[in-house]
Amino acid sequence: MRKIRVVIAKPGLDGHDRGAKVIARALRDAGMEVIYTGLRQTPEQIVTAALQEDADVVGLSILSGAHNHICPRVVQLLKDRGLDDVLVVVGGIIPDVDVPKLQEVGVRGVFRPGSPMHEIVEFIEKSVRPRVERT
User: Do residues 121 and 87 lie in contact, with contact meaning Cβ atoms separated by under 8 Å?
Assistant: no
| pLDDT-derived band at 134, boundaries 50, 70, 90 | low
Check residue 57 and give its pLDDT.
98
Summarised one tens digit per residue, pLDDT across range 25-57 is 999 999 999 999 999 999 999 999 999 999 999
Average pLDDT, the chain: 94
Whether 101 has a pLDDT exceeding 90, the answer reads: yes
Q: How confident is the model at residue 15 (pLDDT cuts 50, 70, 90)?
A: confident
| pLDDT at position 63 over 80 | yes
Residue 120, number of CB atoms within 10 A of its CB: 19
For residues 1 and 134, the answer to whether their CB atoms sit within 8 Å is no
Helices (H), the chain: 18-29, 43-52, 67-80, 99-105, 117-134
